A and B are shown apart, each in its own frame.
Chain A
């Protein structure tokens, strides 16, 4: 996919967000991924996500999340390494933490775990992905996630399919 097409899609999306409802959020992140089971491919780039958060529970707060990554591989070729859809669960929400300095307003520490069905459109394969977000901080309209590792399993063969890390992900919930 051309760089300019991706840029235009992103731009249109950002411009349309004031029209979204308040439980819906979208995120932008930066990922890196390596395939373990199959042809060699290491890629990194932008990850775009959508999130639906129906509740604000103190323990086990669930959200539906969909993600798609766009990046370049070791040959500088554009790739879409994964599409993911699944559940993100904030294990706990606490205000007692040392990270308040990063935000202007009161922010909660909400470490999370994500369980996703993952597709690799280039390899036409699917897998099950587990993501940990040990450094997730939340406000009512914003998630900050740093250094979130993920690992995908090929359930048919019982092996690790790929692994990676999302260095940073910011998710904004429309609260107009």
Chain B
């Protein structure tokens, strides 16, 4: 009985703390949903900077991205900065991590951030997981963010804050961001365990500068292995002669509400259509309200929930669908099939065949509140069209979620899975 009381106090306290500090109310704040303020002006007022970017090369296949990554690493001449939520080596990833190690040994400065959860990867990767500590022997500057260990239980709820960003900068010339981690299931597996995801590679001196301006002091806050901003030059000529597009970049710290404002602004900007790949759609009331408001304005919103063959996650998501139906949108779930055994890990928002939001951010409570995330909105009808075709291909393999299905899934037995994934997913 005493234990039950204690567990109840902890859960209630977590929920109270989590919801009281939530930033998602910004998604429906008056200044965010104001219809008379243009998107650019709105984002500027939220201190969300603009950048010019080239048209990206899009990678949907983890193996293809791994091969490209090896090429990029081998081409690095001065420095390489990368960050991934989950990263570990395996037999299949030996070529990539050897390339990184060899670059560091040759004198190229390699800065690698992996979240502390990386060592506790509970996906299929756990059977193919070689921790990255060996990279240090080659001179790679490896930082494990907010490590998980017995001693660090002292940090309490701070352990909930995770670094979910995925990006890569090579020599201040090439830049890539998206949803792919650097582990077995993201870029290593050559079977149904390989996730479906996306990475975007492009040039953008402004974005390189923005990321590095943030990264250097952030890195120095974490480690004794300090670095200086002036040691990371950016090539300002990489966009010369290329068609460029306007973008807005958010590098979010937990609790800063920047992603909430970005997504809320995009939804309020929508005139007729929105397509969403949320990955884990664990949304709170404000997030649901933001989508519902756009739908009620006549915007047609389509959202695809991945089929997740991991029963615990799937049942947590299924529990959530009853609330998600309150959005009133075209809510779909992937059919179980040979193809959907490969988890759709992609995160994407397309607005009015014009704006696309890419990056690490899942459209859920955790990403909005408890994680470091990076997201880029690009104003490009061409890119939006390309990604919409991709979305439509996924859409063809989905079924609508009905009230009956949602009622059937909304069971007390699934609640623990839901609440665990809501804060931890």
A-chain residues with CB within 8 Å of residue B149 when the two chains form the complex: 103-104
Residue interface mask A25-59, B partner, CB < 8 A = 1: 01110000000000000000000000000000000
Q: Does A122 contact B (CB under 8 A)?
A: no
Query: Given that A11-B13, A18-B161 are known contacts, is A106 also in contact with B223, CB under 8 Å in the complex?
Result: yes
Partner among A17, A108, A142, A171 whose Cβ is within 8 Å of the Cβ of B156 = A17
Interface centre among B116, B119, B224, B255 (most CB of A within 10 A): B224
Query: Given that A105-B144, A139-B224, A140-B224 are known contacts, is A172 also in contact with B155, CB under 8 Å in the complex?
Result: yes
Bound together, the chains give a CA A104 to CA B146 distance in angstroms of 10
Query: Given that A106-B225, A140-B222 are known contacts, is A14 also in contact with B151, CB under 8 Å in the complex?
Result: no
Q: Is B158 a contact partner of A18 (Cβ separation < 8 A)?
A: yes
Q: Does B6 contact A (CB under 8 A)?
A: yes
Chain A nearest CB from B165 CB (Å) reads 15
Q: Is A15 a contact partner of B221 (Cβ separation < 8 A)?
A: no
Q: Is B157 a contact partner of A11 (Cβ separation < 8 A)?
A: no
Residue interface mask A71-107, B partner, CB < 8 A = 1: 0000000000000000000000101000000011110
Q: Is A15 a contact partner of B224 (Cβ separation < 8 A)?
A: no
Q: Does B287 contact A (CB under 8 A)?
A: no
Bound together, the chains give a CA A140 to CA B220 distance in angstroms of 9
Q: Is B255 a contact partner of A142 (Cβ separation < 8 A)?
A: no
Q: Is B13 a contact partner of A176 (Cβ separation < 8 A)?
A: no
Bound together, the chains give a CA A104 to CA B116 distance in angstroms of 9
Query: Given that A95-B224, A139-B224 are known contacts, is A172 also in contact with B152, CB under 8 Å in the complex?
Result: yes
Q: Is A140 a contact partner of B156 (Cβ separation < 8 A)?
A: no
Query: Given that A170-B151, A174-B158, A176-B255 are known contacts, is A104 also in contact with B144, CB under 8 Å in the complex?
Result: yes
Query: Given that A11-B10, A103-B147 are known contacts, is A142 also in contact with B222, CB under 8 Å in the complex?
Result: no
Q: How many residues of B contact A (CB 8 A)?
A: 31
B-chain residues with CB within 8 Å of residue A106 when the two chains form the complex: 223-225
Q: Does A21 contact B (CB under 8 A)?
A: no
Chain A nearest CB from B217 CB (Å) reads 12
Query: Given that A104-B116, A140-B223 are known contacts, is A15 also in contact with B13, CB under 8 Å in the complex?
Result: yes
Residue interface mask B34-52, A partner, CB < 8 A = 1: 0000000000000000000
Chain B nearest CB from A23 CB (Å) reads 11
Q: Is B221 a contact partner of A140 (Cβ separation < 8 A)?
A: yes
Q: Is B147 a contact partner of A105 (Cβ separation < 8 A)?
A: yes
A-chain residues with CB within 8 Å of residue B147 when the two chains form the complex: 103-105
Q: Does A1 contact B (CB under 8 A)?
A: no
Q: Is the interface of B mostly helix, strand, loop or mixed?
A: helix
Bound together, the chains give a CA A139 to CA B222 distance in angstroms of 8
Chain A nearest CB from B86 CB (Å) reads 15
Chain A nearest CB from B398 CB (Å) reads 38
B-chain residues with CB within 8 Å of residue A175 when the two chains form the complex: 221-222
Assign chain A's interface to a size class: 20 to 34
Q: Does B334 contact A (CB under 8 A)?
A: no
Q: Is A27 a contact partner of B154 (Cβ separation < 8 A)?
A: yes
* Nearest residue, chain A, Cβ from B151: A170
Q: Does B389 contact A (CB under 8 A)?
A: no
A-chain residues with CB within 8 Å of residue B143 when the two chains form the complex: 105
* Nearest residue, chain A, Cβ from B370: A18
Residue interface mask A142-176, B partner, CB < 8 A = 1: 10100000000000000000000000001110111
A-chain residues with CB within 8 Å of residue B9 when the two chains form the complex: 8, 11
Chain A nearest CB from B299 CB (Å) reads 35
Q: Does B286 contact A (CB under 8 A)?
A: no
A-chain residues with CB within 8 Å of residue B6 when the two chains form the complex: 7
Q: Does B254 contact A (CB under 8 A)?
A: yes
Bound together, the chains give a CA A81 to CA B152 distance in angstroms of 26
B-chain residues with CB within 8 Å of residue A26 when the two chains form the complex: 154
Query: Given that A11-B9, A105-B143 are known contacts, is A170 also in contact with B224, CB under 8 Å in the complex?
Result: no
Residue interface mask A117-142, B partner, CB < 8 A = 1: 00000000000000000000001111
B-chain residues with CB within 8 Å of residue A27 when the two chains form the complex: 154
Query: Given that A8-B9, A15-B13, A105-B144 are known contacts, is A176 also in contact with B161, CB under 8 Å in the complex?
Result: yes
* Nearest residue, chain A, Cβ from B254: A176
B-chain residues with CB within 8 Å of residue A171 when the two chains form the complex: 154
B window 237-268: CB within 8 A of A: 253-255
Bound together, the chains give a CA A11 to CA B221 distance in angstroms of 27
B window 113-164: CB within 8 A of A: 116, 119, 133, 142-144, 147, 149, 151-152, 154-158, 161
A-B contact pairs, 24 of them (CB 8 A): A8-B9, A12-B13, A13-B156, A15-B156, A17-B157, A17-B158, A18-B17, A18-B255, A93-B224, A104-B116, A104-B147, A104-B149, A105-B144, A105-B147, A106-B225, A139-B224, A142-B151, A142-B152, A170-B151, A170-B152, A170-B154, A171-B154, A175-B222, A176-B158
Q: Which residues of B contact A (CB under 8 A)?
A: 6, 9-10, 13-14, 17, 21, 116, 119, 133, 142-144, 147, 149, 151-152, 154-158, 161, 221-225, 253-255
Q: Known pairs A15-B17, A140-B222. 13 more at Cβ < 8 A? A: A8-B9, A15-B13, A18-B156, A104-B116, A104-B147, A104-B149, A105-B223, A106-B224, A106-B225, A144-B151, A172-B152, A172-B155, A172-B156
Q: Which residues of A contact B (CB under 8 A)?
A: 7-8, 11-15, 17-18, 22, 26-28, 93, 95, 103-106, 108, 139-142, 144, 170-172, 174-176
